[in-house]
């Protein structure tokens, strides 16, 4: 699971500066940087606040952070097939500024 990269990508897609997101989440920019660089794993309440400020449901954040190591070997082929479509659908719904 790569929560840090998912958070960073969402933040950049929403054109948010790291210090602005950190302030909105009531955490330090240093801590957010450590999260985004996978040096720190935040607790669930912090993840909920981050997801809320990124305007994305927490389960979607978890889905976007899934990597190959999180998928059972016998299910990786199926995930490779459906994963990109689901991520595209999520992107169009949650990243579209008109929504």
The pLDDT score that the predictor gives to residue 96 is 55
Inform me whether the pLDDT recorded for 15 exceeds 50.
yes
Query: Tell me: the pLDDT tens digits for 35-85?
Result: 999 999 999 999 999 999 999 999 999 999 998 889 999 999 999 898 888
C-alpha 22/C-alpha 3 separation (Å) is: 16
Q: What is the mean pLDDT of residues 1-24?
A: 96
Q: Quote the pLDDT of residue 83.
A: 87
Q: What is the pLDDT of residue 74?
A: 93
- The fold of 3-94 is 434 Repressor (Amino-terminal Domain) (1.10.260)
pTM, 2 dp: 0.85
Per-domain boundaries in the chain: 3-94
């Amino acid at each position: 699971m790569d929560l840090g990269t998912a958070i960073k990508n969402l933040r950049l897609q929403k054109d948010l500066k790291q210090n602005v997101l950190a302030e909105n989440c009531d955490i330090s920019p240093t801590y957010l940087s450590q999260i985004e660089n996978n040096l720190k794993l935040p607790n669930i309440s912090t993840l909920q606040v981050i997801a809320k400020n990124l305007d994305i449901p927490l389960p979607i954040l978890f889905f976007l952070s899934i990597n190959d190591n999180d998928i059972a070997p016998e299910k990786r082929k199926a995930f490779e097939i459906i994963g990109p479509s689901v991520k595209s659908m999520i992107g169009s719904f949650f990243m579209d500024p008109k929504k």
